Structure 1
């Protein structure tokens, strides 16, 4: 009994999946890869008039009528396959299990084969929406042959010529209709000035920094901690770009330790982090880093915002303090090695001009997108070089991945089982090594399908 007999539904816990997946299946040499090329609008899938050219699951980005989706091309289906062919069949089964909908391709010119009937049985057990493509219908003469595929019991066959494009529009409309309803679009426009929150514990120089950037005394500055209570929005031009800066009240050690207006100021500060796209966390370089500093950075990371760490009051540090600061960064900021960092003096203006490029770099990483093809080529390389450890006789595998969204970059990995947290951290680290993502958190989520009852 094949493992597809016992497909589990993905629970989707914690997954923010916005790009649906279509698996293309069918017996060998029915034109699946040609049809995939037609759907994605470019020649990427390898096509050759020999059965079995496609062996692995290969993923491509596609769009139709403004709707994004991922197409997974699979090798030819063979239920009684052995050796390499059996592995190809397994890949197709896994693709069905991870997909939102299935495009079943049949060669209309040769009619229904026993293998096609076997595929139908698997599709019914999987319970996924199926679109039936009657391929190689190149003219009106073969339309009747396509109609015979109603006998498969999968509903209307869509006659199409993958080679010439005939009928592909109707087929794509049917695919979109079979996919889950698209989530509501987020029309919160990035138009207008980018939103930058200046955050940090009290009295580290946040207001002084805003005044320096604005080139005027915009907010009250005093050595007394907590002078700033209400967030103050300020349109500031930095290096020819206009940003909306939010100067915030210093975050207290614990919200419960603040009383009265300080309590509400602390809440507004956290709201400012949520409202921002990038946060500049200001740290007093002349003082040892504290748990408060690290907690603020963690708040920015948890909110999924881009991060720039500004070590302020650099003019007040000597060589000895800078050596200690290097050690503190190495010891305490290992989890924030991806953040953009600048050494500045808001009082004298030294190196404040470096803040603009750091903000732009962080926003660039925050909005970075990786194509599905590049991502899966990368995942294939690291899985081959560093497979997941075997635990309890099982070795979960990454089947394929997709980037669900940017801001921050969020990736969904479809796997044959749960991945260990340590392995997920390894994948995240390698993602950063491969693609950069400077200044932004990277979220890696898992959609796991456990194998149950495979040995019945």
Structure 2
């Protein structure tokens, strides 16, 4: 085998002279994210079901915020990156604000109030077809005392016949009502022009886009994702309730942990299969999938006090398919006794056998137990996800491995591995160039040996095989 690794991988017949004979164009690596940029924030507020999320989607030019024709779908304040006329800004969608709200509605209203206090401009959305309600008047009263620029959007003005109803909203004392139709796009361009005029050149708070590593908190409903988000931020950033499915939209927040800034994204719990979901649950599941794909590392929360479920397995499959680094956090560890601990060890060996490489941490989002241990697990997983092994180092290792354990015979012939290269990172992707097919078991063997030698803890590793027949000698 030794001559197979001479130079750039010359075979015994001397026909392959360098690696350029092989096509590895499909393994192009993506570039790094751009540097962090400070941008202003626009908060979209109003009572429930006036079309705030629809207006957010219209501003973004794509369907991001979850929309359904029932009140209370949006519950957290959710930030989206937007741009208009060449200027970037963040749009914060909020839950419906109601005075004297109780229970979950009170938590939703509190998030809207935080958005109003921290934004650089506020857009109050009112349903022009209904007119100013007592709730609208209560919100307007609060906003009139604010030093932040406020714009009044009279929504659902689908045609000129409703313009007179929009004009009646002057009574709210917030200046000119801008007639828009979030459903059809009517008037939204003029509103965006006014928003840009109201935004300051320097944001009130430093809101960063890009830069910090993105971490998705994922798991089944009511496993403690929002509680962990609140514990990490030190504030009630996400709405928490005992009702499963409280979070609908992904909620992201910059968090300082271990001396670094991280971008944590709280996601909706996946209640059932996407194909079987309906209404806002269906769109929430799509947002969760998008959040995983947009993240660099996923923290899969599993309720340690209960048996591992099919829902946990489905979320794990989504993370594996996305090729993201992985940390498994066994939450509610404060509820685990000795018997449950022994049972959990058996479940991990049986149900999580697909990801023996994942970093595992036992935490309690409720008490804060061991939450800081997430930091080294995240750092290790991301370092593995970013890791690159030089071609020379890789082939020196490969030569020794194959000399000790050659690939199995296939069709009476011994396939030869000529050389290997790392084609990409994020996740690490390796290509082995051979003269014959390598069995799946041997590819798994190579992956395991790769992990042992180069320490890819916390990251998936992809192994691809490229088979090339020898070119016929020219006569």
TM value normalised by structure 1: 0.62
Using the alignment, how far apart are the partners of 1:415 and 1:334 within structure 2? 29
Aligned pair in 2 of structure 1 residues 380, 184: CA closer, same or farther (>3 Å)? closer
Other-structure match for 1:315: 334
Kindly report which structure 2 residues correspond to 1:157-236, keeping only aligned pairs within 5 A, or say none.
Answer: 186=31, 188-189=33-34, 192-236=211-255
Aligned position for 1:277: 296
After TM superposition, give the deviation of residue 450 of structure 1 in Å. 3.4
Q: CA deviation at 1:309?
A: 0.2
Unaligned runs of 5+ in 1: 1-53, 60-71, 75-87, 102-127, 129-178
Aligned pair in 2 of structure 1 residues 181, 344: CA closer, same or farther (>3 Å)? closer
Q: Output the CA distance in 2 between the equivalents of 1:320 and 1:435.
A: 36
Q: Who is 1:411 aligned against?
A: 430
Displacement of 1:332: 1.5
Q: Distance in 2 between matches of 1:181 and 1:298?
A: 24
- What is the alpha-carbon root mean square deviation over aligned residues? 2.6
- How many Å apart are 1:185 and its aligned residue? 6.3
1:439 matched residue in structure 2: 458
| C-alpha distance in structure 2 between counterparts of 1:409 and 1:256, whole Å | 31
Is 1:100 matched with 2:21?
yes
Aligned length in residues? 299
| SS, match of residue 387 in structure 1 | coil
Supply the distance in 1 between the matched residues of 2:344 and 2:323 (Cα, whole angstroms). Answer: 26
Q: Shift of the alpha carbon at 1:363?
A: 0.3
Matching residue of 1:343:
362
| 2:314 is aligned with 1:295 | yes
Measured in 2, the distance between the counterparts of 1:264 and 1:446 equals 37
The structure 2 residue matched to 1:390, chosen from 403, 406, 409, is 409
Q: Deviations over 1:124-146 (max 9, x none)?
A: xxxx9xxxxxxxxxxxxxxxxxx
Q: Which runs of 4 or more aligned residues in structure 1 lie more than 4 Å from their structure 2 counterparts after TM superposition? A: 179-185, 451-454
Residues 423 and 56 of structure 1: is their aligned pair in 2 closer, same or farther, counting only changes over 3 Å? closer
Question: Aligned-pair distance for 1:180?
Answer: 8.1
How far apart in 2 are the matches of 1:181 and 1:210? 38
* 8 Å contact kept, 1:233–1:244: yes
Counterpart of 1:144 in structure 2 is none
Q: How does 1:233-382 map to 2 (within 5 A)?
A: 233-382=252-401
Residues 1:439 and 1:184: Cα distance change in structure 2 (over 3 Å)? closer
| SS state at 1:413 partner | strand
Per-residue deviation at 1:250?
A: 0.5
State the distance in 1 between where 2:9 and 2:433 align: 15
Distance 1:356 1:190, change over 3 A: farther
Q: Distance in 2 between matches of 1:184 and 1:278?
A: 17
Q: 1:235 Cα shift?
A: 0.5
Query: The residue matched to 2:290 in structure 1 has which SS?
Result: helix
Q: Does the CA contact (< 8 Å) of 1:231 and 1:247 recur in 2?
A: yes
Gaps of 5+ in 2: 37-210
